[in-house]
Structure 1
Amino acid sequence: MENLPDRSSAPLPADASAQAEADLWNVQGIVGQLAEIRRKWRTVNAQHAEYGVESFPSRVRLAKVVEELCGALFPLRLGPDFVRLHNEDTFVTQTLQIAFSRLQAQVRLELTYSSPDDGRDINDDRATQIVLALGRELPEIRRLLDIDIEAAFRGDPSARSLDEVLICFPGLLAIIHHRLAHKLHLLGAPLVARIISEISHGQTGIDIHPGAQIGEGFFIDHGTGVVIGETAILGDNVRIYQGVTLGAKNFPLGPTGALIKSLPRHPVIENNVVIYAGATILGRVTIGAGSEIGGNVWLTHDVPPFSRVYQAREQNLVIRPSSEDEAPA
């Protein structure tokens, strides 16, 4: 067999060498394939048109907005350390001016994303009105949060102060995010609201859809793994523990086979209900006022008021060891 020259180490012409070095990883080929995939996706999903990163709300910027709003709501506890009683109104004034301006920009991006044909001026004005409406709701949000903090303090014997609840409890952080996100959801900024809820989800492990309606005095103890769906309705003084799911049982399909959105499909939890760790409640069922749902219970039906629902009694089955198992080693 003829010995062929080893070309692996042979020098390339200068221009060929530069070209090979510039595209060692075949980037141009990958870029072309990705472009073709994007083109096909956009053709098929034209109703979900993309407008690019510049026209989509920023999770990073919204996290900063929420941090600023938390500081404005609780300046001495969630604001910066230079805030004191004598300057807290000045701090709140300056913080809200900045936070509202930033939020308006993010809401405008959402409106541009969802309604690009409305024009910049129309979307800018709508975004301004949404943020103004949220500002008018902030005193009510603060009032609700004060009741939530008190409920957490009463419900957790480990809590030594209201300040500890506010600063340390993940459930309270999730509730603050939810109260803000829910108002934005109702005001016409559901995408911004969803991003805010997911910021909280990432920080706390508590997943509350901004569409969920939650009454006053809400307390989540521990919190990790809690899921509350979009159409869930919770009354006043509801207390839930870690791992609780208020979810949907099934998902109806439309004529085209796509899921029908926003149907009432999550539970209704009436006033003064306690749901213990790991319980799963699915579907549009009602848990009556004053009820207790035990840990790890699975429920898909209504429960009348003042019910106590627990797991079936544990059954212990003792199996006698075989003679081999009994034999000494």
Structure 2
Amino acid sequence: MDDFIINNVCRTERENASEYRKKLPQVINTILASMEDERCFVHIGDEPIHFSTTVKEMIDKFREILFPGYFSSEKIDGANLVYNMGQAVSLLYDILSEQIIHVLRHDCLRYGQACSECEKTGNTIALKVIQAIPDLRISLAEDVKGALDGDPAAKSHDEIIFSYPGLYAITVYRIANILFKLGVPQLPRIMTEHAHSLTGIDIHPGAKIGKRFVIDHGTGIVVGETSVIGNNVRVYQNVTIGALSLPPNAGEKLRGSKRHPTIEDDVIIYSGATILGGDTNIGARAVVGGNVWLTRSVPPDTKVFIESPHLIYKRHESQKELNHEYQV
């Protein structure tokens, strides 16, 4: 009897589900009709947008080459180094050139641009990026050393390379910045947004960042497109190096202008600090304390802190409340 009841319940639930599905064609027609609505956006009939999985594969291959032996799926030694590096570089070149050609063709066809000779340009740019890898490795090595020098919790260079989200975000930024400066559309931003989604660190590929840039912890960091950051700068979590609020119609007018701060050499910015505005300059060797809000410049060799909060401690003792107020 129980089996009979269960079977009937299952059959009824399946029939009910079919009734819901019968309503889908009407919903689909409504969705299709909405595609004629000029208030919304569609991307139909154009080159497809590249898939994030391919971008991830490309970033992973870059890391294999930038840090040989760290992220390879097999042991690398003198017996297979030349073969392994040759395979990795060849594959990276193929992936990278295909991605660049893809975004060039996408923008050309979608926006009716003049022919950019996608194939030739894509292959040329991909080769330039591959040729930049030796210098890129040196730059990233300095970032790693900077992290070890300033972080007592770091036990080795290996620990930083393997596990620090800040270094991952910086690595992706430095690759994307090369592509950005070579005029590749979309792809650099997609790469840094991929790193953003994994680490919580949002660095625009157009930012200019010097040597030995260190991100400590990292979650919640924002670095805007026109930011300029010098050498030996250390930034802690939840720091914003951003633009002042703009009116809704300012996008086109101010696009390309200097909207984000300049951070000079040897500056330390502690967690929660917010620094805004294209005219804001943080002088060399300055220290910006936690939760500081800045929209004007700071001279070199200056410390900026918020006054210690006035804390109130309350406790109950023998039914009598004792209040203690003092500075911390």
Give the TM-score category using the shorter length.
0.7 to 0.9
- Give the aligned residue type for 1:40: D
Alignment of 1:84-95 (within 5 A): 84-95=77-88
Match of 1:73 in 2: 66
Please give the TM-score of this superposition, normalised by the length of structure 2: 0.84
1:50/1:113 contact within 8 Å kept: no
Secondary structure at the counterpart of residue 78 of structure 1: coil
Distance 1:312 1:286 in 2: 22
Amino acid at match of 1:161: S
Structure 1 position 98, deviation (Å): 0.9
Corresponding residue for 2:325?
none
Structure 1 gaps of 5+ residues are 1-17
User: How far has the Cα of 1:262 moved from its partner?
Assistant: 2.7
Q: 1:313 to 1:110 in 2, by over 3 A?
A: same
Alignment match of 2:55 (pick from 40, 45, 62): 62
Cα 1:306–1:198 shift into 2, 3 Å: same
What is the identity percentage for the equivalent residue pairs of Structure 1 and Structure 2? 34
Alignment-mate amino acid for residue 254 of structure 2: I
CA drift of 1:49 comes to 7.1
User: How many residues end up aligned between the 2 structures?
Assistant: 303
- The answer as to whether partners of 2:261 and 2:276 remain within 8 angstroms in 1 is yes
Offset of residue 85 of structure 1: 3.5
Segments of 5+ residues of structure 2 without an aligned counterpart are 1-14, 323-328
Compared CA separation, residues 152 and 84, structure 1 to 2 (3 A): same
Aligned match of 1:216: 211
Deviations along 1:132-189, whole A, 9 cap, x unmatched? 1111211111110010010001011111111111111111111110100111111122
Aligned to 1:263: 257
**CA shift for structure 1 position 55:** 2.7
Q: Deviations over 1:167-226 (max 9, x none)?
A: 111111111101001111111223111111011111111111111111000000111111
Change (3 A) 1:26 1:170: same
CA distances 1:88-111 after superposition (whole Å, capped 9, x unpaired) = 232121111111111211112211
Query: In 2, Cα distance between the equivalents of 1:318 and 1:68?
Result: 55
Q: 1:264 to 1:119 in 2, by over 3 A?
A: closer
Q: Which amino acid aligns with 2:268?
A: V
Letter in 1 for 2:52: R
Name which of structure 1's ranges 286-295 and 122-131 shifts more when overlaid on structure 2. Answer: 122-131
Q: What residue is the counterpart of 1:11 in the other structure?
A: none
Question: 2:23 aligns to what?
Answer: 26
- Structure-2 residue corresponding to 1:36: 33
What is the aligned-residue RMSD (CA, Å)?
A: 2.8
Distance in 1 between residues matched to 2:18 and 2:286, nearest whole Å: 70
Partners of 2:180 and 2:116 in 1: how far apart? Answer: 22
- Work out the CA distance in 1 between the residues paired with 2:131 and 2:51: 24
> What is the CA–CA distance in structure 2 between the aligned matches of 1:287 and 1:63, rounded to whole Å?
35
Match of 2:197, as an amino acid?
G
Q: CA deviation at 1:236?
A: 0.4
Q: TM-score, normalised by structure 1?
A: 0.84
> Max radius of gyration: which structure?
1
| Counterpart position of 1:5 | none
Going from structure 1 to structure 2, the CA distance change for 1:264 and 1:83 (only over 3 Å counts) comes to same
The structure with the largest strand share of the pair is 2
Is 1:314 matched up with 2:314? no
Instruction: Tell me if the contact between 2:108 and 2:116 (Cα under 8 Å) persists in the aligned partners.
Output: no
Matched residues in 2 for 1:312 and 1:187: separation?
45
- 1:202 matched residue in structure 2: 197
Query: Is the 8 Å Cα contact of residues 153 and 159 (structure 1) preserved in structure 2?
Result: yes
Tell me if 1:163 matches 2:161: no
SS of residue in 1 equivalent to 2:70: helix
The CA distance in 2 between the partners of 1:174 and 1:306, in whole Å, is: 28
- Residues 232 and 265 of structure 2 are in contact (CA less than 8 Å); yes or no, is this contact kept in structure 1? yes
Deviations 1:288-308 (A, max 9, x none): 001001111111110000110
Indicate which of 175, 184, 193 corresponds to 1:180. 175
Q: 1:282 to 1:298 in 2, by over 3 A?
A: same
**Distance in 2, Cα, partners of 1:278 & 1:249:** 17
CA contact (8 A) 1:279 1:298 kept: yes
Counterpart residue identity of residue 107, structure 1:
I
